[in-house]
Structure 1
Amino acid sequence: MHLIVGLGNIGEKYQLTRHNVGFMVIDEMTKNLATSNINNSNFQSTLLKSGYNLFSKPTTFMNNSGLAVHAIKEYYKIDLENIIVIHDDLDLPFGTVKFKIGGGHGGHNGLRSLDAHITKEYIRIRVGIGKPQDKADVANYVLSNFSKEELNKLADIINHIIEAIEALKTEDIDLVKSKYTLK
């Protein structure tokens, strides 16, 4: 079983923000799948199941995402190598997509929470959102909406990520990196 987690914040006002790119991938990935909704308050997550895949959008807000992922991981006995987390990354230019296992959180509070609750040994899909001109403005930047032009490009990027996720289910991460990294 695979657990595919999109990081983001709940609520309509966050729907198209840079910090919610993980949620956007989950929404696009599941929109045409036959899924069942799993209602369990212990999971603190919008959780969908399709075949041997679970799709999670934690409802804890970003800073406590690890609580939700840990609860799902433990309940379903999911191995770390079968957990794929999609998140925004300020250190990558917009449109960049990279893959890794482990590494630092880079100041990302969602990753910090995951690392604290399940360790760092899960698969990460880093989606570049660029960075603000003024480093003091990071919080406002990640919570700002993508521009119309960026949203148009993001549709193709999200479809590319979905293809990569499918590949990650059966292929080695190094092979996926070589085939699906976008720079």
Structure 2
Amino acid sequence: MAIKLIVGLGNPGKDYQAHRHNAGFWFCDVLAHFYTGAFKKESKFFGEVAQINIAGTSVWVLKPNTYMNASGKSIQSMANFYQIDVAQILVVHDELDIDLGTAKIKFSGGHGGHNGLRDTIKALGSKDFYRLRIGIGHPGDKSKVADFVLHAPNKSEIGLIEDVLSDSLNVIEQVVKGKVELAMQTLHTE
């Protein structure tokens, strides 16, 4: 099934834009730029929206303005309005349990403690959507996680994240066309 909606999870505003938790927003910005899409605020979708064309397929790109913990409201409103099936949604988010400089694609699953995913699953009433998980590494101690995700990566980490965003961009056409297994093979062996 083709992907019709790509959502980046993050927190809106200048204070948050450099934080690791905004990896989903970073990917959407790179994606929209690459496919010459421009974001505009859409109050009915509680976010910023761009429409792009990937390999002949029209795709919506969404950055919710609801803050991470309420992302589902934005995603649900857009999916309902355009009658997009849950399985046609790709949610891009930061992932603590994946090494920095690595990205993985998966279908379905739990939220793994990620509040943006938790709210998305609740709002959509389903966990059966695709995820592009951008590895940001782990601080090593569970008690340091909240502080870790709400701070900017250092210079060497930024380089690794930029590389993985580029690698992810290289497989997005396959993902959108529904060739997810092929995209996984490519991305997971990079």
Q: TM-score range by the shorter chain?
A: over 0.9
Match of 2:25 in 1: 23
- Residues 19 and 151 in structure 2, CA contact (< 8 A), matched pair in contact too: yes
Select 2:152's aligned residue among 135, 139, 145.
145
Match of 1:127 in 2: 134
Residue identity in the other structure for 1:89:
E
Residue identity in the other structure for 1:116:
K
TM-score, with length taken from structure 1: 0.93
Match of 2:51 in 1: 49
Q: Distance in 2 between matches of 1:101 and 1:167?
A: 15
TM-score, with length taken from structure 2: 0.90
The offset of 1:37, in angstroms, is 4.6
- Residues 101 and 163 in structure 2, CA contact (< 8 A), matched pair in contact too: no
Q: Distance in 2 between matches of 1:75 and 1:171?
A: 22
Residue identity in the other structure for 1:4:
I
Match of 1:8 in 2: 10
Deviations 1:125-144 (A, max 9, x none): 11111111321111100001
Secondary structure of 1:139's counterpart equals helix
The offset of 1:111, in angstroms, is 0.1
- Residues 92 and 129 in structure 1, CA contact (< 8 A), matched pair in contact too: yes
Instruction: Tell me how large the CA RMSD over aligned residues is.
Output: 1.6
Q: Unaligned stretches of 5+ in structure 1? A: none
Q: 1:144 to 1:175 in 2, by over 3 A?
A: same
Match of 1:156 in 2: 163
Q: 1:142 to 1:56 in 2, by over 3 A?
A: same
- Residues 98 and 182 in structure 1, CA contact (< 8 A), matched pair in contact too: no
- Residues 100 and 160 in structure 2, CA contact (< 8 A), matched pair in contact too: no
The offset of 1:32, in angstroms, is 4.0
Q: Unaligned stretches of 5+ in structure 2? A: none
Q: Distance in 2 between matches of 1:130 and 1:27?
A: 21
Identity %: 37
Flag as ranges the 4+ runs of structure 1 deviating above 3 A: 36-40
